[in-house]
Amino acid sequence: MKITNIKGQLRRKNRFSIYLDGKYAFSLDYDTLSRSGLHIEDEVSDADIERLELKDEYARARDYLYTLLSYRGRSEYESKKRLLDKGFSRGVTEEVIRDFKKKGIIEDRRFAAEWLDSILLHRPLGRLRAEHELREKRVNEAVISGVCDERFGQDEEENLARRALEKRLTVLRNVPPDTARERVWRHLKNRGFRFDIIQELCKEYFCDHIE
């Protein structure tokens, strides 16, 4: 098969349509086309086309993942899932993830630490809830344990719980004390704080003991 035309696409400036024997056959991005060395009048085989399309898919998957990561960090699992959901093949997805890990662009320990720091700044959580949310992102258990050990000492978790409690109290100003106490207890439990921390804070703020 002979390349009879290479034409830039109007709507996607970075992509070029390749025509074989007068008919549109496939498209490539600019980088893949440049590296291929293809020119009009060149002969290409089915194997050549398959190889070029795989390189083009890799480039599209790579660029898509770079775009996702520019918005926020993601775990290895999240990154892989987004690529597969976008329609990229498993082989290309695995290759892109492997290359990003080699370059240190995807690294679950750094992701877990940065994610947790950001969450704790804006939404105080207890260790139990933090561990649960990181597990949902398929972060390795050893990584979860290490990151949480660094951020959830007794004093640190109590301070986080106190922040969550005081913030909750601002919306419970006109609620009867017994009801407010019950709602605060439930709120802190849902946020993943330990029983003993919740109990001590409720005793402090409500002068009572909750069994």
Residue range 159-171: mean pLDDT, rounded: 91
Domain total for the chain? 3
23 and 76: one domain? Answer: no
Give the lowest-confidence range in 136-140, 155-159, 173-177. Answer: 173-177
The better pLDDT of the pair 203, 211 is held by 203
Write the DSSP string, the chain: -BEEEEEE-SS-TTEEEEEETTEEEEEEEHHHHHHHT--TT-B--HHHHHHHHHHHHHHHHHHHHHHHHHHS---HHHHHHHHHHTT--HHHHHHHHHHHHHTTSS-HHHHHHHHHHHHHHHS---HHHHHHHHHHTT--HHHHHHHHHHH--HHHHHHHHHHHHHHHHTT-TTS-HHHHHHHHHHHHHHTT--HHHHHHHHHHHHS----
The reply to whether 149 and 171 lie within a common domain is: yes
Same domain, 114 and 92: no
pLDDT band, residue 76 (cuts 50/70/90):
very high
Q: Quote the mean pLDDT of the chain.
A: 90
Read off the pLDDT of each residue in 117-138 and give the average, rounded to a whole number: 92
Residue 21 half-sphere exposure, CB side, CA atoms within 13 Å? Answer: 3
Quote the pLDDT of residue 111: 94
Residue given tokens 């990003």 in the structure block: 100
Tell whether 25 and 50 lie within a shared domain. no
Do 201 and 116 share a structural domain?
yes
Q: In this structure, is residue 124 part of a structural domain?
A: yes
Assess if residue 211 is contained within a domain.
Answer: no
Under the banding of pLDDT at 50, 70 and 90, the label for residue 209 is: very low
Give the domain range for residue 183. 108-206
Question: What is the pTM assigned to this prediction?
Answer: 0.75
Same domain, 112 and 190: yes
CATH number at residue 50: 1.10.10
Is the pLDDT at 186 greater than 90? The verdict is: yes
Q: pLDDT tens for residues 7-30?
A: 888 888 788 888 998 889 888 888
